[in-house]
Chains A and B, each alone.
Chain A
């Protein structure tokens, strides 16, 4: 609920400002400050870098020497990546596909349903509106653990256990409170005169929604969509609960299993980890602005 923060507002940053921190920093003994910053930066990137290097080293080299010896004795191979895509063993291609098949509907379904609800909350009056909105808002903080066992038996009763539907429905339901909250905040900012004018012209709710609001909503839809996509892509708990069988389980489940059963097979683990990282990192690099916005808004989800 700390999400009352920067959902739609970006703090005003004027170029050329000299902030308090900058002044404080300047007066601090500057070499020390730089050193500390560099140490943190190294500590935060070196582990990933080490595993990345390892994923390109031959199996024997990984298991007998540290990755830092790569620089004195560089041996490069793509065998590890070939091995994790081998259809007869780890078969990551299938899990990659599963991750995509799980994620797309899990983003689109809540977006569709939440835009309708957010519109109703922002621009319509009906009895029970406030209490319903607060209830939905509060549902954001429910830890998903609380819901899993009853949902599992529900899915078994419905006859959809062990299908993608369990994941689509769960992820969508869990996403709705946040999606409605983000979209509602955004829709509320649209000047009411715009809506009134459209109404005067005889536009109904449907026309207003599509012609006036939807074009304005794009940044909020993008922020939520990207957040939700990565959330689903990176999720382990829900997938482990509902998608135990390899036919439908995503990359995270396979990687986590691999870490548990073949914890020392670093040639496979390193390559596998980077296959799973590629999508989020690409999304992050391309859509950083929306990504950060969605992430800050959705940080208590789960």
Chain B
């Protein structure tokens, strides 16, 4: 049951066994809980209900998280304490500095552009006859895997050398050629390649921004709009002084959420360039260092840096939410 399943029957059997096992765990807990009645049993029952969750989170998230922080102070093999050397490497090594620079590009560009496009599109298709269809088009990339999205865009960016009869098969280079330019090695030329990778993330996240902001726009009360209209505001004024302030909390949620997602982006870089040609970001570098270069210590330190970078965004988000609720 706990071995590597290799045949179809084995796999399905193991799958059902796993599901049954956990359903049985819940059954046993409920059975025991059923023996405690009245309010006095409350405490026991509560702890019983929480036990599996606390166990899984402690072993699956809490312990590994703390362990990684600990390991980030050790060397590549993980057997000698080296203090903060790994962190020094991240902030001084030339290659790692490029990783940090790229991560900064990603986190600064993706949220704002994706939110901008999402907001613009939400406003443009608002109340259009085919609104839900138009929205589905933009939202669809959100449902597919980052890997599939990367394959789609890798094909768009495909490059063929400019010689003889060779025709471009990537649309972007074909457009460049149609406009009279020379085809470009889009995924190899740095730093252009990083921006092209970022666009893939924008392409995915714009649908998320659009959905949330569109809901926020539709929730603006009628009387506010009516009052502004009677005052004779211009369309731009309507956007600037009515729509935007009203949806501000939603905009902040969208910006911060996309920023957090972008910080952790790994699949796109991994699938499109594998982090080569100066395109690596922290989340990808973590993987390369930990599993390709067998540098556990540096990998752990990169993961910790990632964690630390997420925290201020989350804190900002919570503070803004509190303020808007107050």
Contact A2 B65 (CB under 8 A): no
- Which residues of chain B come closer than 8 Å to A66, judged between CB atoms? 167-171, 174
Q: Does B50 contact A (CB under 8 A)?
A: yes
Contact A67 B169 (CB under 8 A): yes
Complex-state Cα separation, A250 to B14, whole angstroms: 16
Q: Which residue of B has the minimal Cβ distance to A180?
A: B53
Contact A236 B270 (CB under 8 A): yes
CB proximity of A107 to chain B, nearest CB, Å = 10
Q: A18-B127, A48-B141, A51-B155 are in contact. Are A255 and B57 (CB under 8 A)?
A: no
- Which residues of chain A come closer than 8 Å to B64, judged between CB atoms? 146-151, 154
- Which residues of chain B come closer than 8 Å to A145, judged between CB atoms? 264, 266, 283, 286-287, 302-303, 306
Within B282-316, the residues touching A (CB, 8 Å) are: 283, 286-287, 290-291, 296, 299-300, 302-304, 306-307, 310-311, 314
Contact B124 A163 (CB under 8 A): no
| Interface residues of A, dominant DSSP | helix
Q: Does B101 contact A (CB under 8 A)?
A: no
Complex-state Cα separation, A245 to B117, whole angstroms: 40
Q: A44-B206, A142-B61 are in contact. Are A259 and B152 (CB under 8 A)?
A: no
Contact A281 B143 (CB under 8 A): yes
Contact A204 B145 (CB under 8 A): no
Contact B11 A97 (CB under 8 A): yes
Q: How many residues of B contact A (CB 8 A)?
A: 141
Contact A44 B219 (CB under 8 A): no
Can you list 21 A-B pairs with a CB-CB distance of less than 8 A? A24-B235, A116-B26, A125-B42, A143-B306, A145-B266, A146-B68, A146-B306, A147-B68, A149-B303, A159-B2, A172-B56, A204-B34, A206-B30, A233-B145, A236-B145, A236-B146, A255-B271, A256-B147, A277-B144, A299-B261, A300-B257
Complex-state Cα separation, A167 to B144, whole angstroms: 20
Q: Which of A74-82, A185-193, A216-224, A289-297 contacts B (4 or more CB under 8 A)?
A: A289-297
- Which residues of chain B come closer than 8 Å to A205, judged between CB atoms? 33-34, 36, 45
Interface size class of A (residues with CB under 8 A): 35 or more
Number of residue pairs A-B, CB distance < 8 angstroms: 401
Q: Which of B's residues lie within 8 Å of A, judged by CB?
A: 2-6, 8, 11-12, 14-15, 18-19, 22-23, 25-26, 29-30, 33-34, 36-37, 42-43, 45-47, 49-50, 52-54, 56-57, 59-65, 67-69, 71, 117, 120-128, 134, 136-148, 150-156, 158, 167-171, 174, 203, 206-208, 211-212, 215-220, 222, 224-225, 228-229, 234-236, 238-239, 242-243, 246, 250, 253, 256-257, 260-261, 263-264, 266-267, 270-272, 274, 283, 286-287, 290-291, 296, 299-300, 302-304, 306-307, 310-311, 314, 317-318, 321
Contact B155 A270 (CB under 8 A): yes
Contact A36 B124 (CB under 8 A): yes
With a 10 A CB-CB cut-off, give which of A2, A27, A117, A126 has the most chain B CB atoms.
A2
Among all A-B residue pairs, the 7 with the closest Cβ atoms? A173-B60, A234-B145, A147-B64, A150-B64, A150-B67, A120-B49, A27-B235
CB proximity of B315 to chain A, nearest CB, Å = 9
Contact B156 A1 (CB under 8 A): no
Q: Does A105 contact B (CB under 8 A)?
A: yes
Q: Which residue of B has the minimal Cβ distance to A107?
A: B19
Q: Which of A's residues lie within 8 Å of B, judged by CB?
A: 1-2, 4-6, 10-13, 17-28, 33-34, 36-37, 40-41, 44-48, 50-51, 54, 62-68, 97-98, 101, 104-105, 108-109, 112-114, 116-117, 119-120, 124-127, 129, 132, 136, 139, 141-151, 154, 159-160, 162-165, 168-170, 172-174, 176-177, 180, 204-206, 209, 230, 233-237, 240-241, 245, 247-248, 252, 255-256, 259-260, 263, 266, 269-270, 272-273, 276-277, 280-281, 283-284, 288, 291-292, 295-296, 299-300, 302
Contact B239 A163 (CB under 8 A): no
Of B42, B153, B169, B303, the contact of A143 (CB 8 Å cutoff): B303
Contact A165 B18 (CB under 8 A): yes
Contact A176 B253 (CB under 8 A): no
Contact B321 A19 (CB under 8 A): no
Contact B306 A260 (CB under 8 A): no
Of B12, B216, B266, the contact of A237 (CB 8 Å cutoff): B266
Q: A25-B124, A50-B156, A51-B155 are in contact. Are A149 and B57 (CB under 8 A)?
A: no
